[in-house]
Structure 1
Amino acid sequence: MPSLSELLLTPVAKTPRSRLVFWFSLSLAFALVYGVLAWQEAFSSAYLVQDDARQHVFWMRRFTDPDLFPNDLIADYFQSVAPWGYTLFYRLFALLGIDPLLLSKLLPMALGLGAAAYGFGVGLQLLPVPLTGFLSSLLVSQVVWGHEDIASASPRAFMPLIFLAFLYYLHRRSLLPCLATIALEGLFYPQYVFVFAGILLLQPLRWQRGLRLSSNQQDYWFCIAGLVVAFLVMLPFALTSSAFGPTITAAEARPLPEFYPGGRSVFFNEDPLFFWLIGIRSGIFPYFLPPIMGLGILLPLLLKLPHRFPLVSQVTHRTSTLLHLPIVGLGLFFLAHAVLFKLHLPSRYTAYTLRFALVLATAVVLTLLLDAGLRWLSRQSQPSRGARVLVGGVSSLLALAILLFPSYAPEFPDTNYKVGEEPELYAFLAQQPKEIVVASLVRKADFIPTFAQRSILVGREYAIPYHVGYANQFRQRATDLLKAQYTTNRAELRQFIQTYGVDYWLIDQDSFSRKFLQEEWVKQYPSAVEAAKTSLQQQKTPALKRLANRCTVSAAGDLSLLDAKCLLAPSQPG
């Protein structure tokens, strides 16, 4: 019977195929369990949608019904910024009769399994021991399911899988598959093509008694071919401009409330440590999960101690990629800050480059530590109980820290699904003509495009400020809506309804209170908020409030849906 060391630490070249299949299957089993946990939540309610899918998926219902969302600023904008490959992917499934919202719930499982499979392969390329492949895959699964990106089924949900596939084929020097991953990244999540290009540029460099250039011509041809594909796939983005105006600049963003705490797209912060280190959009490393990946920083030290960690001899030169990832990620992070918002959000460049570098390094470190511990025991003719307890205890604690991560993580899997709580409202609106527009400042209105498939004038979820043309129109709409909701002048109310073609107006029990004006996203429009506060302080009754009872056509809970035709109608003599 093979010893524990043979079962866990035998190199791939000497491992029976059945044992390798076992470790790979176990890796996928964990990924499958994590995916099933996400599915349980995804299908726990008929009216449930992932937070970001409300932006990225709702408009895709146009694939099955082109008449939906006519002349809809919000739908047109999010359709315009969707990457071409991402759009085509959903369109093809829509042609097969699969609803985009359903696909967005099914898709994360496949993406998670794919990431786990490539994580296993990349781990073996770093240290060809099946245990390393398993640990790499497991930690990769915990990374992707410990953050909401994969559950969003948005363009960035595809990035972890494609990124790991890129590393796998890059290490194998499989040219065509590697070029295919670069092209796919450009079609699904274009900004990460810059990461791929940076990694390719570093391939000819070798650290052998100092920094040297590779003597292998294949490294140069591989680099050139990859950069050519990266250039070609990004060229259309460079040659075309957005229909919704240029990207906002740092100077334009700094005065806007949207970019500060409480705003829709918090970026700036007065605390420099928070801003540079853990800011969700501005920081180098917003989330450090799973925490055991911190062990990855020990890898350079262990590699310099082969006499203490003999398995170091099996570690391949491909571990140099683990250094390339943070170099490229940090370089692009600071470049993104320098040309703020031109390369979108700086944290996007370090989040996964650092996470994957650390979890892959951690898998190697754990394998080296276990091997060293077992070798130490084997060198003793009769290991003492204390020695066995030490090795077994430390190994068990590390194993528990990994396996039990889902139980102590803040939220695992992190899906960020949101529940629509007003099915009667969605059903009523879905029965109305497809061209209707609903005006509302109520947060619950954000669910209307997804579940009623009808247009809204504005909504907190859709107040994305990165393109000036869209953001200015949206800001004007929101400001006008606030003014109209609190105006005491009925003529101004009528003018707003006619200007924007409003058919229904959704309010709740707090819509005319000072409390409502403290809503974070409403406070992004200070001029209108101050005017509304002044009116309320003077105890003036808004025209909309006076008409609310008479014009309500649907009510559920604390929500009331008002008919704009009624609001426009002349007052009846009393």
Structure 2
Amino acid sequence: MSGSRNPELGHPFQTKPFDLPAALLLSALVFVAAHGAFLFDPYVANDDVRQQLFWMLSWLDSQLYGPEYVLADFSAQYVSWGVRGLYRIAAFLGLDPILAGKLLTGVLYTFMGGAVFGLSRRIAGGGNTGRWVGFASLAVFLLHPYFLHNISGGLARAFAGPLLVGFAWAWAADRGRRALVCLLLQALFIPYIFVLCAGSLALAWSWERVRPSARALPADASTVSIAAAFAMGGAVTFAFNRALTAAGFGPLVDKADMIGNVIFTSKGRLEIFPTPSVLKLAVLDPLEKLMPFQEWGPALGAAGAVVLGAFLLGTAIRAPWRETASRSRALFAIAASSLVLYAVARLVLLKLFLPERYIEYSAHVIWCLLLGLPLGYALSRLGAPDVRRALGIGVLVAVTVLAGVRLQGQGLYHYEDHASLYEAVRQTDKQAVIGGHPSLMDNVLTFGQRRVYVTFEIAQPWCVGLWNIVEPRLEKTFRAYYSDSAEDVDRWCRAEGIDYIVVDDRHFEPWFLKPEKQYIPLKEALRLPGWASWLAEPIAALARAFGVPETAVKPHERTDTYRDGVPFFAPFDELIADVVEQGGGRFALLDETRFPGTRIGPHQRIIDMRSAVGEAGGTKEAS
């Protein structure tokens, strides 16, 4: 046994030297099992890399995207400085940003698993009980899809969980300087988590002023060092946020301008209204994602939740909550800061980013400990030492296998369906501008590696300066793409400097433009796994006996529109409907005599419009 001094406990904090490496190894194994098969697939990636990482390809090939390309310029400003620095190093080493993001995902996930173990072991007081609680909390972390999903892609948000847990772990271990280092890293990589953790330190400092006998701050964090970290981190956060406006893409939209605007609802680009409640964010969402509803369907998922709940209730009664609470001052401060900032962020929407971000990360981490403590404590007192040891090893092996299966491809999406299109686009000039449906253009921009006129991912109405550029482009695109006039298409290309148009004839089909709800039998809606399919009919019969309808709405599959049931987010769905109606359901771009192009597969064509652009001198407004 080895130990480190914890002044609050008054005795060495007992650890075993191989516990933390074991936790890191288990986390790494789960990552490899979940994402290993996709590491080197260039067309499997997190969806947001198409918004935040694509432009970094220009570090490997300076001719890509070209200078003063507004979409790349915005994405570069949107990515935090710390993330930019890491990917700049990766580019220096010759790594493609998508591959670098996948590797970074593994590093961050592995670190977070070790940090969850270290934090929970520390809060449980170390020793044998602490080891069991640490590994039980780690098991919850590994089985929970939320963490890998958010870390996937290696984007700025990927640093939120790891740096939050690292900060709390350092605080709980009385390593104040390490906590302040984490705080500064948060300012560089994920500024709103810096605000959250700085708020927790401020609350703890205030508590010590109100209760001089209380000790809330970590032992070696003085007022001066905390103030210095606040000043440096605050300056970085302020400068980063100001840079977006200085580049012409801000300021952020005001709350008054969002109220009543459909684009900020579930039908629009970002669902800000209604704001999720604390109950939903802190309790319902974490537990729903942890339970096997996705894998087992609603019926068996609910049954599994009841069984686990009953087991946890039985173990929670005997858990040492009071002793644990005395070591949890870091978590109490973080939880309090989360609630305060959630309330403030609701009042000043987007000025402190989204309110839910201040609850969801801390809530999911705290649930790992809330579930891990009673489980670990119960297991630590089960049977003889040899039996417990064998049981513990068996449980960890089972958890690792189950997590690897459950998290298979978590946070990754497959874009290889359009691989032939990407290959064709890459044959064009590197300075070419491609037009087409904005949702498809995200893929062309990233995997085809060419400039596009406008995309879904970078259509962000909360950035006023950017939206003033993007909104007109979206309108012009849909008016031309769905027009019945070839002259409208030519005029669009000439005015905007579009060299090629990608046309997908599925975008003009009725099921795409105005899809109707589809219904499936209730037993199919249960989504039972194969091994439990025999239960479908009995459960459906029981439900029908209680008056449940015999059919249910078929869930939408993720489509290129990204929004279920509409050709694009509101209010552009209505614009498209108007253009289609005005044209009587005729579409100029489907006339292959007028726009022959090169056919790519059964549905897509790439049309060379350079002659039309050349006649007008090619303004290249899209740059």
The TM-score with structure 1 as length reference comes to: 0.80
> Would the aligned equivalents of 1:485 and 1:544 in 2 still touch at CA under 8 Å?
yes
Counterpart for residue 511 of structure 1: 507
CA separation in 2, counterparts of 1:512 and 1:50?
Answer: 27
CA separation in 2, counterparts of 1:136 and 1:232?
Answer: 35
Displacement of 1:299 in angstroms is: 13
Matches within 5 A, 1:122-141: 122-127=119-124, 128=126, 129-141=130-142
* 2:117 pairs with 1:72: no
Displacement of 1:196 in angstroms is: 0.9
Displacement of 1:61 in angstroms is: 0.7
> Would the aligned equivalents of 1:436 and 1:455 in 2 still touch at CA under 8 Å?
yes
Matches within 5 A, 1:112-131: 112-127=109-124, 128=126, 129-131=130-132
Structure 1's 287 and 499: CA in aligned 2 closer, same or farther, altered over 3 A? farther
Structure 1's 550 and 423: CA in aligned 2 closer, same or farther, altered over 3 A? same
SS at the partner of 1:481? helix
Q: 459, 464, 467: which one pairs with 2:460? A: 464
Counterpart for residue 9 of structure 1: none
Relative to structure 2, which stretch is displaced further, 239-248 or 492-501? Answer: 239-248
1:339-367: per-residue Cα shift (whole Å, max 9, x none)? 11111211111111111122123322323
Displacement of 1:220 in angstroms is: 5.2
What root-mean-square deviation, in Å, do the aligned CA atoms of Structure 1 and Structure 2 show? 3.9
CA separation in 1, counterparts of 2:333 and 2:309?
Answer: 18
CA separation in 1, counterparts of 2:13 and 2:574?
Answer: 72
Structure 1's 206 and 317: CA in aligned 2 closer, same or farther, altered over 3 A? farther
CA separation in 2, counterparts of 1:264 and 1:312?
Answer: 43
> Would the aligned equivalents of 1:425 and 1:554 in 2 still touch at CA under 8 Å?
no
Displacement of 1:94 in angstroms is: 0.4
Displacement of 1:486 in angstroms is: 2.8
Displacement of 1:370 in angstroms is: 3.8
Counterpart for residue 540 of structure 2: none
Counterpart for residue 326 of structure 1: 335
SS at the partner of 2:435? strand
Displacement of 1:403 in angstroms is: 6.4
* 2:579 pairs with 1:532: yes
Counterpart for residue 290 of structure 1: 290
Matches within 5 A, 1:165-244: 165-204=166-205, 213-214=214-215, 221=223, 223-237=226-240, 239-242=242-245, 243-244=248-249
Counterpart for residue 105 of structure 2: 108
Structure 1's 276 and 356: CA in aligned 2 closer, same or farther, altered over 3 A? closer
Q: How many percent identity over aligned positions? A: 21
Matches within 5 A, 1:410-421: 412=408, 414-421=410-417
Displacement of 1:327 in angstroms is: 1.6
Relative to structure 2, which stretch is displaced further, 59-68 or 414-423? Answer: 414-423
Counterpart for residue 5 of structure 1: none
> Would the aligned equivalents of 1:284 and 1:350 in 2 still touch at CA under 8 Å?
no
SS at the partner of 2:434? strand
1:96-125: per-residue Cα shift (whole Å, max 9, x none)? 111111101211111111112222221222
Structure 1's 299 and 205: CA in aligned 2 closer, same or farther, altered over 3 A? farther
1:428-478: per-residue Cα shift (whole Å, max 9, x none)? 211211111111116333211221210111222332222011123212111
Counterpart for residue 36 of structure 1: 32
Counterpart for residue 544 of structure 1: 589
SS at the partner of 2:454? coil
CA separation in 1, counterparts of 2:345 and 2:374?
Answer: 32
AA matched with 1:290: L
Counterpart for residue 350 of structure 1: 359
Structure 1's 99 and 395: CA in aligned 2 closer, same or farther, altered over 3 A? closer
Displacement of 1:295 in angstroms is: 9.9
CA separation in 1, counterparts of 2:601 and 2:272?
Answer: 36
Displacement of 1:136 in angstroms is: 2.9
* 2:452 pairs with 1:443: no
Q: 257, 261, 279: which one pairs with 1:252? A: 257
Relative to structure 2, which stretch is displaced further, 444-453 or 42-51? Answer: 42-51
Structure 1's 325 and 502: CA in aligned 2 closer, same or farther, altered over 3 A? same
AA matched with 1:194: V
Relative to structure 2, which stretch is displaced further, 33-42 or 231-240? Answer: 231-240
CA separation in 2, counterparts of 1:482 and 1:114?
Answer: 45
> Would the aligned equivalents of 1:136 and 1:360 in 2 still touch at CA under 8 Å?
yes
SS at the partner of 1:510? helix
Displacement of 1:95 in angstroms is: 0.8
Q: 351, 355, 361: which one pairs with 2:370? A: 361
Structure 1's 553 and 407: CA in aligned 2 closer, same or farther, altered over 3 A? closer
Unaligned runs of at least 5 residues, structure 2 = 1-10, 292-304, 515-565, 616-623
* 2:504 pairs with 1:501: no
Structure 1's 557 and 13: CA in aligned 2 closer, same or farther, altered over 3 A? farther
CA separation in 2, counterparts of 1:417 and 1:407?
Answer: 17
CA separation in 2, counterparts of 1:14 and 1:355?
Answer: 26
Unaligned runs of at least 5 residues, structure 1 = 1-11, 303-307, 379-387
CA separation in 1, counterparts of 2:199 and 2:78?
Answer: 24
Displacement of 1:294 in angstroms is: 7.8
Structure 1's 514 and 469: CA in aligned 2 closer, same or farther, altered over 3 A? farther
> Would the aligned equivalents of 2:132 and 2:377 in 1 still touch at CA under 8 Å?
no
Displacement of 1:24 in angstroms is: 2.9
Counterpart for residue 57 of structure 2: 61
Relative to structure 2, which stretch is displaced further, 56-65 or 441-450? Answer: 441-450
Structure 1's 312 and 332: CA in aligned 2 closer, same or farther, altered over 3 A? closer
Displacement of 1:325 in angstroms is: 2.5
CA separation in 1, counterparts of 2:476 and 2:279?
Answer: 38
Displacement of 1:174 in angstroms is: 2.8
CA separation in 2, counterparts of 1:250 and 1:300?
Answer: 46
Displacement of 1:35 in angstroms is: 0.8
Instruction: Give the paired residue count.
Output: 527
Structure 1's 238 and 264: CA in aligned 2 closer, same or farther, altered over 3 A? closer
